[in-house]
Amino acid sequence: MRFEGISGNGRVCRQLELLEQSGRMPHALILEGADEPAREELARFLARWAVCVSSEEKPCGTCPACRKARSGSHPDIYVAQGANGPKSFHVDVIRTIRADAYIRPNEAPRKAYLLLGADAMTAQAQNALLKLLEEPPGQVLFVITCASAANLLETVRSRAQTFTLEDGEEEPEETPAADLAKKIASAVIAPREYELLCQTGKLAKDKELARGVVGRLLQIFRDACICGFSDAYSSAEEKEALLLAQRLPRARLLELLAVAEQAKDRMDQNANQNLLATWLCARLRSDLHEQ
Ligand SMILES: [Zn+2]
């Protein structure tokens, strides 16, 4: 992905790039955040990405599709939003989209539907949208923007992947959790398993620490995946991520990310701390032993 003209939201951009690189881009995305212009900017970027016909990084910015998208005249980009005010985004708009979405794109690889300010959607409009997301047409990308995904029906949220935009880019600060997360990431590829056992053992007693560590591990493993999948992108935030990317095959990087995601789920479900620490150690290393 070529993020020219996109300011801030580095984390979300890296997540999107990872999804693209690994061929897992969802057909429906929710961009939530208080900054309305930033939401719309990213949504329009994704529309250009969806229609660009370049064989290089997309959106290339120079192909005929990119130029039409820029000038707002691309026939495969459809932008919808309500009038001002709550419940001003009506069902007839979604019905129009449904009638159109199953027809093949005019000229682009896929059609892009931007639904801006979805907080204003009526329940009827959201239910119509849900039907569309449940039976997604091929070659279509839905980008839904809103202040908060919590304003949308749970059923709609569950059918799309939500990305939370940041209020201004923050530098990650050096905390005990960040420090321990780096040590754990290094220990994953250390010669002896004992190293990892020592580090993950520290998670057994301190719930807050464990929560912070798992959050940072998710970032490190995500960064490692991005480095591993994109030769062009080599500026990982942490050197631990870069090392993992250099030492491990892509499939293993994705497994590490999956382990961290599962660890977060377990924490959200209030898993026993001792068991979580042991499980994490076993999973982070066992994936390596199986190679
Ligand atoms: Zn292009």
Structure tokens that stand for 106 in this block: 């005019």
CA of 67 to the centre of ligand 1 (A): 7
Asked whether residue 2 is assigned to any structural domain, the reply reads no
Ramachandran region of residue 23, left (φ > 0), alpha (ψ -120 to 50) or beta?
left
Q: Do residues 82 and 183 both lie within one domain?
A: no
- 291 — pLDDT class (breaks 50, 70, 90): very low
Strand-by-strand arrangement of the 111-116 sheet? 77-81, 111-116, 140-146, 28-32, 161-164
CB 233 within 8 A of CB 17: yes
The per-residue pLDDT for range 94-116, each reduced to its tens digit, is: 999 999 999 999 999 999 999 99
Cβ count near 211 (within 10 Å): 16
Q: Specify the range with the lowest mean pLDDT, choosing from 205-209, 210-214, 282-286.
A: 282-286
The per-residue pLDDT for range 129-152, each reduced to its tens digit, is: 999 999 989 899 999 999 999 999
Mean pLDDT rounded to a whole number for the chain:
89
| pLDDT at residue 101, rounded to an integer | 95
CA of 51 to the centre of ligand 1 (A): 7
Q: Name the one residue in this structure whose structure tokens are 């500026």.
A: 235
CA of 55 to the centre of ligand 1 (A): 9
pLDDT > 50? residue 184: yes
Q: Do residues 221 and 142 both lie within one domain?
A: no
DSSP state letters, 201-246: HTTTT-HHHHHHHHHHHHHHHHHHHHHHH-SS----SSHHHHHHHH
CA of 8 to the centre of ligand 1 (A): 22
Q: Do residues 135 and 191 both lie within one domain?
A: no
Structure tokens that stand for 92 in this block: 């007839």
CA of 217 to the centre of ligand 1 (A): 35
CB 77 within 8 A of CB 95: no
Q: Which of 164, 191, 223 is the last residue of a domain?
A: 164
Q: Do residues 41 and 150 both lie within one domain?
A: yes
Q: Do residues 156 and 28 both lie within one domain?
A: yes
Ranges assigned E (strand) in 25-76 = 28-32
Handedness of CA 50, 54, 56, 58 (dihedral sign): negative
Specify the number of domains making up the chain.
2
Asked whether residue 138 is assigned to any structural domain, the reply reads yes
Q: Which domain holds residue 66?
A: 10-164
CA of 18 to the centre of ligand 1 (A): 20
Q: Do residues 15 and 124 both lie within one domain?
A: yes
Asked whether residue 230 is assigned to any structural domain, the reply reads yes
Q: Do residues 128 and 227 both lie within one domain?
A: no
CB 12 within 8 A of CB 126: no
Looking up residue 236, the CATH number of its domain turns out to be 1.20.272
Distance, in Å, from the CA atom of 78 to the CA atom of 115, rounded to the nearest integer, reads 9
CA of 72 to the centre of ligand 1 (A): 14
Q: Do residues 112 and 182 both lie within one domain?
A: no
CB 156 within 8 A of CB 133: yes
pLDDT > 90? residue 153: yes
Q: Specify the range with the lowest mean pLDDT, choosing from 177-186, 210-219, 220-229.
A: 220-229
| pLDDT at residue 233, rounded to an integer | 47
- Region 233-238: mean pLDDT is 55
Asked whether residue 30 is assigned to any structural domain, the reply reads yes
Q: Specify the range with the lowest mean pLDDT, choosing from 33-42, 74-83, 159-168, 235-244.
A: 235-244
Rg of the chain over Cα atoms, rounded to whole angstroms, equals: 21
* Rounded-to-10 torsion of CA 107, 112, 116, 120: 110
Distance, in Å, from the CA atom of 116 to the CA atom of 122, rounded to the nearest integer, reads 13
What's CA 31's distance to the chain center, in Å? 10
Cβ count near 133 (within 10 Å): 18
Q: Do residues 112 and 198 both lie within one domain?
A: no
Distance, in Å, from the CA atom of 136 to the CA atom of 134, rounded to the nearest integer, reads 6
Looking up residue 46, the CATH number of its domain turns out to be 3.40.50.300
Asked whether residue 121 is assigned to any structural domain, the reply reads yes
Residues, the chain? 291
Q: Do residues 47 and 124 both lie within one domain?
A: yes
Asked whether residue 93 is assigned to any structural domain, the reply reads yes
- Region 57-63: mean pLDDT is 95
Asked whether residue 274 is assigned to any structural domain, the reply reads yes
Q: Do residues 223 and 279 both lie within one domain?
A: yes
| pLDDT at residue 288, rounded to an integer | 54
Asked whether residue 5 is assigned to any structural domain, the reply reads no
CA of 7 to the centre of ligand 1 (A): 19
Q: Which of 164, 199, 221 is the last residue of a domain?
A: 164
CA of 219 to the centre of ligand 1 (A): 30
Q: Do residues 128 and 255 both lie within one domain?
A: no
CA of 207 to the centre of ligand 1 (A): 47
For residue 130, which amino acid is it? L
